[in-house]
């Protein structure tokens, strides 16, 4: 008798759809990362928009896998991070915590969207929680690696980005409400 903890395998068509959707959102995140304003210490990019869409459209597990693929490509020196950068140095540098924070961001967003649904307020709150997880990872990493106190790290790495990230959250929520029903039909 199969173990109940192991999910039944998906039909081949569903597996192919899941892989192609994950690959598409991984690529979208890489493209959005190139829309960047290089302000120190953390560049302002649209990659968070892609990460939020990964979680909201693919779910916690598949969204985190798509983001993990994006990070893996960057770690392998493919130029998928802001400014066409990549390599282990991008992940291990002072701002690498924000990149690594994309994993819990996508997973938490996906889990909360599944739990609370597709109403606009619920989507925005789910995505705000995911973004907060990314901020927590990135800010702690930056403070430790740059040797700055946590309040200074928050002032440099979070406060200037709040308005833009709020716009990204609303845009990602609106896109999710439009795209998610289309995915359910295919």
- Per DSSP, what are the bridge partners of residue 85? 81
Say how many C-beta atoms besides its own lie within 10 A of residue 122's C-beta.
Answer: 15
Structural domain boundaries in the chain: 18-180
Is pTM, for the whole model, over 0.85? yes
Terminal alpha carbon distance of the chain: 32
pLDDT at 7 over 90: no
The chain-wide mean pLDDT, for the chain, equals 92
pLDDT at 3 over 60: no
Q: How many residues in total does the chain contain?
A: 186
Pairwise CA distance, residues 95 & 57, whole Å: 26
pLDDT digits (tens, 9 = 90+) for 56-77: 999 999 999 999 999 999 999 9
pLDDT at 15 over 90: no
pLDDT digits (tens, 9 = 90+) for 67-106: 999 999 999 999 999 999 999 999 999 999 999 999 999 9
Nearby residues of 90 by Cβ (< 8 Å), 6 or more positions away = 74, 81, 96, 99
Instruction: Specify the fold of 18-180.
Output: Arp2/3 complex 21 kDa subunit ARPC3 (1.10.1760)
Q: For residue 163, count CB atoms less than 10 angstroms from its CB and return exposed for 0-12, middle for 13-18, buried for 19 or more.
A: exposed
- By percentage, how much of the chain surpasses pLDDT 70? 93
């Amino acid at each position: 008798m199969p173990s109940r903890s192991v999910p039944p395998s998906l039909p081949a068509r569903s597996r192919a759809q899941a892989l192609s959707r994950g690959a598409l959102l991984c690529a979208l995140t890489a493209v959005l990362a190139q829309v960047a304003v290089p302000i120190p210490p953390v560049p302002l990019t649209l990659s968070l928009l892609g990460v939020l869409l990964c979680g909201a459209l693919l779910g916690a597990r598949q969204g985190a896998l798509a983001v993990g693929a994006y990070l893996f490509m960057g770690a392998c020196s493919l130029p998928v991070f802001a400014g066409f950068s990549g390599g282990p140095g991008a992940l291990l540098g002072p701002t690498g915590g924000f990149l690594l924070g994309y994993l819990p961001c996508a997973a938490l967003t996906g889990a909360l969207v599944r739990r609370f649904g597709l109403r606009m307020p619920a989507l925005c709150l789910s995505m705000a929680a995911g973004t907060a997880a990314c901020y927590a990872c990135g800010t702690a990493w930056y403070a430790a690696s740059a040797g700055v106190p946590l309040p200074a790290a928050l002032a440099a790495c979070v406060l200037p980005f709040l308005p833009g990230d709020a716009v990204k959250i609303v845009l990602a929520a609106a896109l999710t409400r439009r795209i998610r029903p289309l995915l359910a039909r295919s």
